[in-house]
Amino acid sequence: MFSKEESRKLREEFWIAFGKSFPNKWTLYKTKVKGLSLKFHFDLKVAMVSIDVDSDFEQRIKVWDQLVALKSILEDEYLPEAVYEDFFIIDNQKDISRVYVELKGVSIHNKNTWRETMEFLNKSMLQIEAFYEEYKDIIDT
């Protein structure tokens, strides 16, 4: 087991190493679509890259419907393993909509899985960003 401080330091070390290994100016929260963000996640069991829709109900449905309409394109041309969940509960028990890809069997506490995780996160986010850039006008209608 790691103490909270040891865990915090490992997380910080991972994200610094990731930034140095794969320097990029990621879109993340700067999508210009209300309530839509692109996210990285890495914890004790899984690494994930996601498109999160977290806004008022009307806006969430509007954006989510566009993402669902583009599902076959995302799966065929960018991320065949994408998972669509219209109701996804995040850590703070908030309900969002999420499209994601994940890598299981990795842990932020296990440095032996870091390289594989970094490559997965980089490759997956590049694909999500390419999809977003190509279809952002449709998503934001």
Q: What pLDDT, on a 0 to 100 scale, did the predictor assign at position 90?
A: 86
DSSP-assigned beta bridge partners for residue 88: 96
Question: pLDDT tens for residues 68-92?
Answer: 999 999 999 999 999 999 999 988 8
Query: Do 102 and 43 touch, CB atoms closer than 8 A?
Result: no
What is the tens place of the pLDDT at every residue in 19-32? 999 999 999 999 99
- pLDDT band of residue 111 (cuts 50, 70, 90) is very high
A 10 A CB-CB count for 100 gives: 21
In this prediction, residue 91 carries a pLDDT of 82
- pLDDT (tens digit per residue) in 2-56: 899 999 999 999 999 999 999 999 999 999 999 999 999 999 999 999 999 998 8
Q: What is the DSSP string of 19-62?
A: HHHS-----TT--SSTTEEEEEEE-SSEEEEEEEE-S-HHHHHH
Token couple for 27: 């879109």
Q: How many domains does the chain have?
A: 1
Closest CA to 39 of 93, 77, 96, 78: 96
**Domain boundaries, position 74:** 4-139
